[in-house]
Amino acid sequence: MFYAIILPVLLAVLVPFLAKLKARIHTGILVLWAPLLIFIYFARKIGKQFQPSDQHISWIPSLGINLDFHLDGLSLLFVLLISGIGTLVVLYSIFYLSRSEQLGHFYVYLLMFMTAMLGVVLSDNVFVLYTFWELTSISSFLLIGYWHHNERSRYGALKSMLITVFGGLSMLGGLLMLTVLSGTASIQGMIAKADVILASPYMPLVLVFILLGAFTKSAQFPFHIWLPDAMEAPTPVSSYLHSATMVKAGIYLIARFSPVFSQYDWFVITVSVVGTITLCWGSYMAVRQTDLKTILAFSTISQLGMIMAMLGFGTKLAVFAAVFHILNHATFKGSLFMITGAVDHEAGTRDMRKLGGLVAFMPFTAALALFGTFAMAGIPLPFLNGFYSKELFFDSVIHLENSSNAILNTVVMLLPYAVVAGSIFTFVYSMYYFFGVFFGKNKTDALSKTPHEAPLGMLIAPFILVAGIILIGLFPNSVNGSLLEHAAAAVLGTAPSHNIDIHFWHNFSQAFIMTMIVAVAGTILAATRARWTDVYQLLPGRLSFNRVYDWLLERLQIVSRRVTHIYMTGSVRHYMLIILGATLLGTFLVMFTTGGVHIRFNDLAPVSLLEVIIVVMMVIAAVATLFAKNNLTAILILGVVGFGTAMLFVIYRAPDLALTQLVIETITVAIFLLTFYHLPKLRKREDTKREKTINLIISVGFGAMMTLVGIFSFSSESFAKISDYFIETSHSIGGGNNIVNVILVDMRGFDTLFEITVLGIAALAVFALIKFNRDKGAR
Amino acid sequence: MEFIICILAGILFATGIYNILQKQMLRIILGTGLISHGAHLFILTMGKLKRGQPPILTEGVSRYTDPLPQALILTSIVISFGITSLILVLSFRTAKENQTDNMDQLRGTEHE
């Protein structure tokens, strides 16, 4: 399992070399085998007897972070989508991207994404999951910005990155809280401790954090705005990341944590409501678009909302319909993206207003699009898989049970209407897409090139997906027991059970009536679409969330620039004031709030006259530096303080210190005097009265702080001294009688080594500063 | 006595910081010197003063002063010497290149 995850990224390391051969062989052909191999490896696990399996690899055991992988039905479904659609997308890209593009970059990003996405759906450790999760955001960023010379691409890439990484970070917060609450970083472990987590008072916070991660990634309202802009990516990328896999990561997360949260009312309400709003809003927005890919982007948003809502319901039927629709959506939306790419490639535009009547030029493409769009609309025909999952969806909406929660009951009552409304728009844009592009008035004269049928290779991938639509449509129960039941069982947290049969025809159930309402109303609205265009423009008008995003981004930059200018003044004095003031405040705050104030007078050394004289002398000298008016005075006064310190060292029985201090002090004074002639002359202090007051407060405050810290920490002995160890072992380990020397050269030898290094660097810098001339360079 | 040395260290810190907050380079250098002296005395006090003999193993002596602060200070003295000489030359060179030793005039053009 682990090797399957890292295979793409290992291959990505080789891609730059493979890309050198692109004149002879398209790089895509050379990487095609990797996703295919992964697909075959995992496809062999499909079957009624499928059992979840685990793999454990130690990574950072001390932090509880291990490469734990868990393959259950849900993971298997996603892994198959990732590798299966991945294979088709690579195949498609061979014909879509010409060899003049930077193929190396493209396939490196794509393979990196593949590893990341496989990692997301297979990780059992939440931290590993998070790491892979962010990696998908980064590879998505790189792929959206693939045509980076294009300003819109860069805008879209940044937008998707900001929104998904914002969500990712908040998800990390939620995962951390879950880890703390349950005491384990394993998802399966958390599911086992669901009751502990649900009982926690922090549960609402956990929910908000986790949901933010899932909603941003899966483009749920109001975070959906990044997905339409992500359409600037090359079409294979849109088909792969932004419809089939990456945007479903949020859905995966919700599904994965469903066994933990599903008993929590607010989880059910939030996910259902947000999902339903997204379903309606996405399909409504799709109707008014003119760009083919943007229509598909909003359509994806709407379908994701639908899956999200079903996971929110959490009933057996709804969850089954959700996993079924995950599969179906990947087939029809993936194929539609590829068809759009083909149209774009051959007709030179994706603008609906310029397209029409293409069926005469691209009959085969049109046939594929027919299946794709009709499956998306949910038209009741026995060979379209979209219809089955959609009807199961309606069925699950109707059969939601009432509960004790009043808000939940209101939601349950309103849901069927909202769902039908959203589905009507889905019907309308599906028809609009198909008939608008392939039928209607022939506008090909205005196009920059004459459209013709796409090359065969470009149609293979969508053809396989359409074959999937039809096969699942004809034999829906073939995927049922072998795959979907296991996936649904993983979401529900139960053992797989066979109790849902998928039939084309039930009877005149409510769900069927809803389907018919959608079909009839949809047909009417689609046929009369032209009359409604003004209505579709009414909302959101000026209320678009894009404006909120742009405004926020702009304000953020302005405000941060302003804030930065407040403290980045370029004045050393200001920086020092801020640093010292903050230290002062922090220390006093901690000192007085944690009870650090102690004074004991009983264990002090006696005071002798000699020491007092030295101390008084040093104090006078220190204060005198402030009033020194010329260089010589200042240097000599500093010398007084230094020699005073040396004398104190003598009295306090530190012979080594006294010697060193004397030598160093002498050299320092000598150096000062040597540079004396060159140094700028000391002038009278030239600060204003206000500056003087502030300086005085800060410096006196800091001095007082040091004194107090010294006295308090001297008076409180929290732990035993460690220096006894050095006294005892100085001779036996270090072989020396001078303990200070043994510590320096033996026990803390590295400190001394680095100290010498510092001096060496300082000496080199001094030499350079004196010797080198800016104008002439090195002499 | 320890408290007196603590107060001395505090005064050294206070005067050192007051000097650092000035605009002339030489005063800033003086300030760093004063602060390092203050810090050394501060560390030394933490190991208690005048208890036992100098930390050199001798027959018949059982109490020594704390050797650990001394080792730390020894390192620090040498490092602060390195720093003092470096900033001394640095400020000499800066003043010569820019014709001023006033920190406010060295702020760079974007702030003026």
For range A659-669, the mean pLDDT: 91
Which one of A280-289, A616-625, B82-91 scores highest in mean pLDDT? Answer: A616-625
For an interface test with B, give the residue of A580, A613, A656 to mutate (most B CBs within 10 A). A656
Q: Which residues of A touch B34 (CB under 8 A)?
A: 622, 625, 638, 641
For range A247-252, the mean pLDDT: 92
Using the structure block, give the residue that is written with the tokens 């198959």.
Answer: A80
Assign B111 a pLDDT band (cuts: 50, 70, 90). Answer: low
Taken in order A525, A531, A533, A534, the sign of the CA dihedral is: negative
CA–CA dist A214, B73 (Å, integer): 55
CA–CA dist B92, A740 (Å, integer): 36
Min mean pLDDT across A151-165, A276-290, A539-553 is at A539-553
The confidence score (pLDDT) of residue A775 equals: 56
Is residue A382 a contact partner of residue A496, using CB atoms and an 8 Å limit? no
Residue A279's alpha-carbon distances to A220, A519, B48, B71, in angstroms, are 9, 17, 74, 71
Instruction: Say if the Cβ atoms of A738 and B56 lie within 8 Å.
Output: yes
Instruction: Say if the Cβ atoms of B50 and A653 lie within 8 Å.
Output: yes
Q: Is A514 exposed, middle or buried (0-12, 13-18, 19+ CB in 10 A)?
A: buried
Is residue A181 a contact partner of residue A257, using CB atoms and an 8 Å limit? no
For range A675-694, the mean pLDDT: 77
Taking only the tens place, the pLDDT of each residue in A372-390 is 999 888 888 888 888 888 8
Is residue A68 a contact partner of residue A124, using CB atoms and an 8 Å limit? yes
The confidence score (pLDDT) of residue A539 equals: 67
Distance from CA of B41 to the nearest CA of A (A): 8
Taken in order A236, A241, A244, A247, the sign of the CA dihedral is: negative
Instruction: Say if the Cβ atoms of A707 and B19 lie within 8 Å.
Output: no
Find all residues with CB under 8 Å of A33, minimum gap 6, and list them: none
* A169 or B99: which leads in pLDDT: A169
Q: Which residues of B touch A707 (CB under 8 A)?
A: 6-7, 9-10
Neighbours of A1 (CB within 10 A): 18
* A721 or A341: which leads in pLDDT: A341
For range A396-409, the mean pLDDT: 77
Taking only the tens place, the pLDDT of each residue in A185-241 is 889 989 888 888 888 889 999 999 999 999 999 999 889 889 988 888 888 898 898
For an interface test with B, give the residue of A564, A714, A755 to mutate (most B CBs within 10 A). A714
pLDDT at A395 over 70: yes
Residue A229's alpha-carbon distances to A152, A294, A324, A415, A666, in angstroms, are 8, 8, 28, 29, 70
pLDDT at A355 over 90: no
Q: Which residue of B has its CA nearest to A618?
A: B8
CATH number for position B69: 1.10.287.3510
Residues composing chain B? 112
Please tell me if residue B101 touches chain A, with a CB cutoff of 8 Å.
yes
Find all residues with CB under 8 Å of A124, minimum gap 6, and list them: A54, A68, A69, A70, A186, A187, A188
Taking only the tens place, the pLDDT of each residue in B20-64 is 988 888 888 889 999 999 999 999 988 888 778 888 888 888 888
Spell A105-143 as b/e; 16+ CB within 10 A means b.
Answer: bbbbbbbbbbbbbbbbbbbbbbbbbbbbbbbbbbbbbbb
Please tell me if residue B53 touches chain A, with a CB cutoff of 8 Å.
yes
pLDDT at A779 over 50: no
For range A25-38, the mean pLDDT: 87
* φ, ψ of residue A383 in degrees (nearest 5): -115, 20
Q: Which of B38, B73, B84 minimises the CB distance to A657?
A: B73
Q: Which residues of A touch B21 (CB under 8 A)?
A: 573, 576-577, 695, 698-699
The confidence score (pLDDT) of residue A597 equals: 82
Assign B110 a pLDDT band (cuts: 50, 70, 90). Answer: low
Instruction: Say if the Cβ atoms of B56 and A739 lie within 8 Å.
Output: yes
Average pLDDT, chain B: 86
The confidence score (pLDDT) of residue A774 equals: 60
Write the secondary structure of A229-284 as one string of H (helix), E (strand) and C (coil).
HHHHCCHHHHHHHHHHCHHHHHHHHHHHHHHHHCCCHHHHHHHHHHHHHHHHHHHH
Min mean pLDDT across A93-107, A112-126, A516-530, A687-701 is at A516-530
pLDDT at A622 over 70: yes
Is residue A304 a contact partner of residue A214, using CB atoms and an 8 Å limit? no
The confidence score (pLDDT) of residue A543 equals: 63
pLDDT at A183 over 90: no
The confidence score (pLDDT) of residue A647 equals: 92
Is residue B69 a contact partner of residue B46, using CB atoms and an 8 Å limit? yes
Min mean pLDDT across A131-135, A675-679, B51-55, B99-103 is at A675-679
pLDDT at A778 over 70: no
Q: Per DSSP, what are the bridge partners of residue A446?
A: none
The confidence score (pLDDT) of residue B112 equals: 47
Please tell me if residue B24 touches chain A, with a CB cutoff of 8 Å.
yes
Q: Which residue of B has its CA nearest to A645?
A: B37
Q: Could you tell me what percent of chain A has a pLDDT over 90?
A: 29
Taken in order A42, A44, A47, A51, the sign of the CA dihedral is: negative
% helix, strand, coil for chain B, step of 5: 70, 5, 25
Q: Which residue of B has its CA nearest to A577?
A: B21
The confidence score (pLDDT) of residue A251 equals: 93
For range A717-734, the mean pLDDT: 81
For range A609-631, the mean pLDDT: 90
The confidence score (pLDDT) of residue A526 equals: 79
* φ, ψ of residue B69 in degrees (nearest 5): -60, -35
pLDDT at A100 over 60: yes
Instruction: Say if the Cβ atoms of A652 and B49 lie within 8 Å.
Output: yes
CA–CA dist A241, A85 (Å, integer): 10
Residues 669-708 of A with CB under 8 A from B: 671-672, 675, 678-680, 682-683, 685-687, 695-696, 698-700, 702-707
Tell me the two tokens of residue A323.
Answer: 């996993």
Min mean pLDDT across A33-37, A443-447, A548-552 is at A443-447
Min mean pLDDT across A275-279, A300-304, B20-24 is at B20-24
Q: Which domain holds residue B75?
A: 2-111
Taken in order A208, A213, A218, A223, the sign of the CA dihedral is: positive
Instruction: Say if the Cβ atoms of A703 and B71 lie within 8 Å.
Output: no
**Between A and B, how many residue pairs show a Cβ–Cβ distance under 8 A?**
271
CA–CA dist B54, B47 (Å, integer): 13
Given its phi and psi angles, is residue A315 left (phi above 0), alpha (psi -120 to 50 degrees) or beta? beta
Is residue A97 a contact partner of residue A234, using CB atoms and an 8 Å limit? yes
Taking only the tens place, the pLDDT of each residue in A458-505 is 888 999 999 988 888 888 887 877 888 888 888 888 777 766 777 766
Is residue A619 a contact partner of residue B30, using CB atoms and an 8 Å limit? no
Average pLDDT, chain A: 86
Tell me the two tokens of residue A401.
Answer: 């049970």
For range A759-775, the mean pLDDT: 84
Instruction: Say if the Cβ atoms of A698 and B90 lie within 8 Å.
Output: no
ipTM: 0.93
Please tell me if residue B5 touches chain A, with a CB cutoff of 8 Å.
yes
The confidence score (pLDDT) of residue A540 equals: 66
| Start-end of H helices in A314-405 | 316-347, 363-377, 385-398
Q: Is B21 exposed, middle or buried (0-12, 13-18, 19+ CB in 10 A)?
A: buried
Residues 565-584 of A with CB under 8 A from B: 569-573, 576-577, 580
Q: Which of B20, B67, B85 minimises the CB distance to A727?
A: B67
Query: DSSP 3-state assignment of A498?
Result: coil
Taking only the tens place, the pLDDT of each residue in A740-758 is 889 888 888 898 999 999 9
Where are chain A's structural domains?
1-261, 278-527, 539-568, 572-719, 720-779
In chain B, the number of structural domains is: 1
For range A708-713, the mean pLDDT: 88
For range A48-73, the mean pLDDT: 84
Instruction: Say if the Cβ atoms of B107 and A672 lie within 8 Å.
Output: no
Residue A698's alpha-carbon distances to A15, A364, A706, in angstroms, are 60, 81, 12
Tell me the two tokens of residue A2.
Answer: 């682990």
For range A38-55, the mean pLDDT: 87
**A717, amino acid identity:** E
CA–CA dist A628, A726 (Å, integer): 44
So what CATH class is A572-719?
mainly alpha
The confidence score (pLDDT) of residue A542 equals: 60
